[in-house]
Structure 1
Amino acid sequence: MKKLINSPETVVKEALEGMAAMHPELIRVDLENQIIVRADAPVRGKVGVVSGGGSGHEPMHGGFVGRGMLDAACPGAIFTSPVPDQILAAMRAVNGGAGVFQIIKNYTGDVLNFEMAAELAQAEGIEVASVITNDDVAVEDSLYTAGRRGVGVTVLLEKIVGGLAESGASLEQVAALARRVNEQGRSMGMALTSCTVPAKGTPTFELGEDEMEIGIGIHGEPGRRRVKLAPAADIVEMLANPIIEDLGLKAGERVLAFVNGMGGTPLIELYIVARELARILKGRNITIARSLVGSYITSLEMAGCSITLLRVDDEMLRYWDAPVLTPALRWGI
């Protein structure tokens, strides 16, 4: 195992210390509770937006804490859900009196722990609402989930809902938009290589030199099938067509197209994927209204990519375009 770490036991803590040292104007890090909070939290009268999950998917979620996106993030150990006490501490830290909204990926541990934390917060008088993202079309159930996994739509939802919350919207309005975004987005990913969890020291799964896995999850969960390596054009067909069909996209509709790297894929390859996706959508007369290309929800150093398509309306585009100032996403400031 070759990694830029000091020891497997200190990876998450030291990464959080690094974030705190580099972005003090944007975030503060509570090492005792292992949470990342926007520097000016709590913002009075604003819905606090909280998300989290296992570490190893950076920049999600901590890199998305700041103005116009998340108010706090709760990182667990690598590929391990945060615990209820962490999540409760985050909700307390961002509660500005308008309630707290939780964005939860559909992984069993995340769902259970966020729901438990919500019950504890409500007992303290904090109003809580949530959405569970479940956009992965690859498999219905997996090692970590009952139902579809929450993947790429989570990033888009955090930005759009974060923009709405920044405008002073109510908890009910934030929850309604979040549900709509989740319903209108679908994703699918693939892997060229596995990844290695530092504490384990060996690859999560094995792939032959001429093999790839179609439909993987962000923890390296198996997907739909293992097939021989193919050109990018063929790979994008395998990912994009099931998304388009599941979402029921029709000619004349608009999408936000998200091409995401899994951590070990260079940007030049992601733009080749983006080229092929644009070709497919143009052939179906579907307009790319907005796009995001880069590594935003990763699986440590896994080589591969995922594609997310979100059917957009004017309200979603308005809050996607709204100013955002976080370690990983910045525009309009």
Structure 2
Amino acid sequence: HASYNRINAVLREPLRQQGPGHQHVLQNKVRRIFNDIHNLKGEASALTLENFALIAHQFEAELAQLRDKPNLSGNDFLPLTVKLNRLMAYTESVQKLIARIGGLADIPQGQSAVPSWAHLYDLTSSCAERAGKKVHLVASGLAELSLSSERLEVINQVCIQMIRNAVAHGIEKPADRRDANKAELGRIDVRLAEVAGGSLELTVRDDGAGFDYKAIRRRAMEAGLRTETDLECMDNKQLLSLIFEPGFSTCREVGADAGRGVGMDVVRSKVNALGGRLSIGSSPGRYCQFVITLPGEVSDSALAGDAVLSAA
């Protein structure tokens, strides 16, 4: 419902008349809706709500068409309003069915239910099965810390996106791992810890192939993000910044878990919103690691900044 409300608010935003920056405003609306739908699809997939995930995937397909359209107009968003209303109606019907079957537990406003992270293990298994891979998730610290509803939502969404990325992009197929003298079973480690000053540190690491910088250069050039000359002059840290560009993906084909180029943009937006920091470490053929630090207290000045990216 939080996602629906945010999408509805974006769709209802008044549009100024045609003029300078008009297309940028419309494309920004597409990106913001894309982020929420992508989060919704990830959570639905993690909870094995396949119908919701399918509807969200179809919603993404229409958004992708709008993102690629050279000249958008306000009328292009009308079909999205219809799709959102249908999705909200479907959700309501499911809730009524659940209420009739067993009743719903009321959670006081402003409080979160005791979090259960079993869905992350289910998500890992389902993503691995779709990708033809073998992956094991090891999680620690998630259930040990008391989290506000805001941080709980962000950490959950980031974990879902990072796990999907690790399976789709990082962990190799069993045959490739055997050829590299690695165990067929890939591993993803998710660790949440409280550090100095009450900050939260979320680490997601996989023992896959690491970043393919040549692939990043190639896809960035194909997408027209940078010129060939500029890309050849970019170091690894600068290349990694491109994975956060809206619409960027190294996947050639769009699937249930990758290919839209939305996931890392979503992660950056969530981290930015809480004034957090993000660092990346990668070693070819060995691992890829993301460390996200969220401050204990979020000030107005922190909210105004961008996530700090560093690469090792």
TM-score (norm. length: structure 1): 0.26
Report which of the two has the higher share of helix: 2
Higher relative contact order (CA 8 A, sep 6+): 1
TM-score (norm. length: structure 2): 0.27
Which structure would you say has the larger Rg? Answer: 2
